[in-house]
């Protein structure tokens, strides 16, 4: 299975929710994503959310992270957590920031 760094925002409670950058594993078809023991299936498009948790039905916005860091769907400047195992790759490869 392929994996990639993606932006994951929980939309189950409101338009903006907890968000993080992490490594997601994709199924062969790409319709199912796996992250931290959870599986998400595509809503085949979507407005405000594009994936749902297959166990809880909670809705999420999952997408590739943007180079400028403006990942939140509604542009709010709330903090976005970055998983430790992808932190260096995220900053150097995606955001193209020099190492400190």
Q: Is residue 30 part of a domain?
A: yes
pLDDT score for 99: 61
| Number of domains comprising the chain | 1
Q: Is residue 100 part of a domain?
A: no
100 pLDDT higher than 70: no
pLDDT score for 80: 92
CB within 8 Å of 30: residues ≥ 6 apart: 42
Instruction: Locate all alpha helices (DSSP H) within 1-100, ordered by sequence.
Output: 87-89
Q: Is residue 99 part of a domain?
A: no
90 pLDDT higher than 90: yes
Summarised one tens digit per residue, pLDDT across range 8-64 is 999 988 888 899 999 999 999 888 999 999 999 999 877 788 999 999 999 999 999
74 pLDDT higher than 80: no
How many C-beta atoms lie closer than 10 Å to residue 95's C-beta?
14
Q: Is residue 44 part of a domain?
A: yes
DSSP 36: T
């Amino acid at each position: 299975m392929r994996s990639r760094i993606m932006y994951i925002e929980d939309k189950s409670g409101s338009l903006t929710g907890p968000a993080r950058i992490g490594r997601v594993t994709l199924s062969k078809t790409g319709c199912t994503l796996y992250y931290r023991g959870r599986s998400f299936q595509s809503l085949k498009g979507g407005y405000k959310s594009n994936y749902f948790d297959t166990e809880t039905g909670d809705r999420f916005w999952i997408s590739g992270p943007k180079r400028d860091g403006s990942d939140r769907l509604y542009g709010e400047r709330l903090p976005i957590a970055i998983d430790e195992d992808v932190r260096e790759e995220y900053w150097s490869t995606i955001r193209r920031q020099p190492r400190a």
